[in-house]
Amino acid sequence: MIAVDVGGTFTDVVALQDGVIRTAKVSTNVTDVHQAVLAGAAELGVEGSQVFNHASTHGLNAVIIRRLPKIGFLTTEGHRDILDMGRVWRPAHAIMDPRWRRSFGDAARPLVPRYLRRGIRERITADGGVLFGLDELQAREELEVLRRCGVTGVAICLLNAYVERRHEERLRELVREVLGDVPCSISSEVSPLAKEYARASTTVVDTFMKIIYSDYTGKLQKGLADLGFTGALNFADCAATLVPAERAMEQPFRVVFSGPAAGTVASAHFGELIGEANLLCADVGGTSCDISVVTDGAPFVNTTFELEHDLVVNALANDISSIGAGGGSLVSIGPSGEIEVGPGSAGADPGPACYGRGGTQPTTTDTCLMIGIIDPQSFAGGRVALNIEASQRAFESLETDFDLGRRVRYAYEMGVNNIAQGVLNVAIKNGVDPRDYSLVAYGAAGPMLLPAVLDTVQCKQVVVPPHPGLFSALGLLSTDQVFTADRSLYTILTAEAAPAIDDIFTALEARLRERLVVHASVTFHRSFDARLVGQSWETPFVPAPDGTIDGAAIEGMVTGFHETYETRSGNRFDMVPVEGVTFRVRAVVDTPKVTYPELPTRSTDDPLTPVRRVELRYIDCDEAAVYDRESLRAGDEFAGPAIVNEQLSTTHVGVGQRVTVGRHGELLIRRA
């Protein structure tokens, strides 16, 4: 089995063969992303592999930097500005800022400029009736405008189409007649859910991803075939569950945020192996720190997520918060002369100053190199030679009165503090007590920075899993293949609603069965999103019973809603009727998962000794013992300050901390 996680800085590839995990790390080619994937696959070898599981931030980065194709957007006449308005929400920091503008709005960087958003004369009512029919002549005129503008795809979202789709389907036929065979997404297929804006933005993102990923997927499949790969290519979705590539390209909006989600699944799977069910997960890479929560062995999954503030996508997604803190975070001087770290990043090109690729501004990597935490000779397995003189010149170029020692020390403390604050914010947001949770440190820079937050965050321990630099890629070998179908129907949960709800669940299951291999071992899971009558927002993932939905089943669904609502909010209102909103079925196909070999214990005639000692500068210790992770054995213990080197990561153990090596090679870092 092979898995690849394509990041903005590096592409991580892992292979599992005969119980042995092999890894490769390749710099991402941002202009030709598939090349790095194929380079890593060639390094590890793909002949004979049964599966190739893929996660990427390729589409996400295209949205963030607005490297997007030109598409048109068709909606009901009078509603062409729905994409510009969003939900009219402001982030907390901008509530009182008159200069704030929505990032995807016409005043900033619109996903679809207003002249490409066209209104179509038609109207479906909320109950599925036709108020007035589709004006095909006017629709053709609007499509002619888009043709002259040279659009390469079209997104269609008409009002109430999630109830009645006939106008959208006919409009898609007109697109084919006028514009030819261009990618075209309709909201009633992409996201047949209530709330017009979220459905519209999801459909637009789906159209973008069809254009972006269709060419990419074709090149990837051909390249893998040329390397001798004959197995199944799967793409991970936003919850890091797997979908065959052909199915994923039918609704590619589901894969736009797959990379960060894989790390959460990897943490949950590894936590189960070591008996830790409650985890704070922190993936510190080159650009960002992605933080998530696993409670009772399961990640928290949302029904929607945001690519940017208020840019909503209707897809099941692991709840992940990202902050601009990573190995490439830029060190700068703030307006008051203070040291600042991030959120800007040096990225892969030019990278930190010590890479010698043209970077002149110091980064967190330069900081750790200056302190002595990073070994310039063994960094990235010896593939990247680091230049400490370049790091020093970068720090000396900062316009500040601080001497060199303070510049480096403050940069380190600020970088660590940013991550600690991010982890605490996520814990508070999810209502968890960090003292009951272990902090999983992964990503290339995670083990280097996260043990330093142990006292600030007050978590039980820091867990550094095996292969932390490629741990998210391992998550793609730790998950199942999952197919999901959902549909909205506003209905009060009473016995009278049972037949309609039963029809929905039956149709959704039938739709999923059409996609499944006959001999597959599959389990169906039903759930629904509902709310108390009068509420604006739903409580998601309330369990629903199997079999026929009748009056008794409805009573059980209402009781289940109140129990789920009480668990999430701490309140219970049995006297208030419950309104169902979205009904969902997930088909889970059991998939082989990665296993982690157990380490042998140390013999009495082979005592644990450090390979050397290094001087640490600018922080509160003089030197640290250095250990080679490959030489550690289960049950080994040692105290900080210490550094553990491995091929693609460095673990820094601070003063007053102690390390125990677990049976799978994990490093358990606790207060001494």
Contact 171, 184 (CB under 8 A): no
> What pLDDT does 638 receive?
96
> What pLDDT does 518 receive?
60
Listed in sequence order, the residues at least 6 apart from 505 whose beta carbon sits closer than 8 Å to its beta carbon are 526, 544, 549, 583, 585
> What pLDDT does 519 receive?
56
| pLDDT per residue as tens digits for the range 59-77 | 887 888 888 999 999 999 9
Residue 495, by phi and psi: left (phi above 0), alpha (psi -120 to 50) or beta? alpha
Residues pairing with 626 in the sheet: 612, 643
Integer CA distances (angstroms), 565 to 95, 429, 448, 538, in order: 29, 17, 40, 10
> What pLDDT does 239 receive?
87
Give the SS3 label for residue 358. Answer: coil
Encoded tokens for 422: 């991010």
Q: What global pTM score does this model have?
A: 0.84
Contact 14, 20 (CB under 8 A): no
> What pLDDT does 520 receive?
63
Contact 153, 109 (CB under 8 A): no
Give the SS3 label for residue 278. Answer: coil
The beta strands (E) that lie in 423-558 are given as 438-442, 462-464, 481-492, 522-532, 539-543
Task: Give the residues of the chain that fall short of pLDDT 50.
Answer: none
| pLDDT per residue as tens digits for the range 148-179 | 999 999 999 999 999 999 999 999 999 999 99
> What pLDDT does 634 receive?
94
> What pLDDT does 429 receive?
85
